[in-house]
Amino acid sequence: MCALDASAARLAPAGAELIEVEAGTSPCAQDPQSVFFDAWTLIAGRVVLDLPKAANIRLEQIRQVRDNRLKALDTEQIIALGKGDATAVAAVEARKQVLRDIPQRLDFSKAKNAYDLQHIVPPALV
């Protein structure tokens, strides 16, 4: 056992399985850019992507973008309210509702890997 192996063994939780990974490569072939690192699972000495966990991570990423858009629209709506522009207020409210509906309308069922998940972008956020 080399010094690095001894260090890894000492730092790993008791009973943890250690795997060797070539420098500069991703241990998870299904997620080569490590975008969904928190969704990796070790199964029989292989790192695999837990797709349902990865989908939840992607959903949270989309929610963060959506929430930022909602905040911007809040400002726009307040300005319209201040001007007494009921038409603009209603238009902004309609755009906000589209954003609020995004999580319920997302379909991750066709995603088979990290690449597919990364490319699920609701049209309202483009």
Q: Structurally, how many domains does the chain consist of?
A: 2
Q: Are residues 20 and 81 in the same domain?
A: no
Q: Say what percent of the chain tops pLDDT 70.
A: 90
Instruction: Flag whether pLDDT at 53 surpasses 90.
Output: yes
Q: Are residues 66 and 18 in the same domain?
A: no
Instruction: Flag whether pLDDT at 7 surpasses 90.
Output: no
More confident: 92 or 8: 92
Q: Are residues 24 and 56 in the same domain?
A: no
Q: Are residues 84 and 111 in the same domain?
A: yes
Q: Are residues 41 and 57 in the same domain?
A: no
pLDDT digits (tens, 9 = 90+) for 66-122: 999 999 999 999 999 999 999 999 999 999 999 999 999 999 999 999 999 999 999
pTM, full prediction? 0.80
The 3-class secondary structure across the chain, one letter per residue, is CCHHHHHHHHHCCCCCCCCCCCCCCCCCCCCCCCCCHHHEEEECCEEEECHHHHHHHHHHHHHHHHHHHHHHHHHHHHHHHHHCCHHHHHHHHHHHHHHHCHHHHCCCCCCCCHHHHHCCCCHHHC
Domain hosting residue 58, numbered range:
52-125
Instruction: Flag whether pLDDT at 12 surpasses 90.
Output: no
Q: Are residues 59 and 120 in the same domain?
A: yes
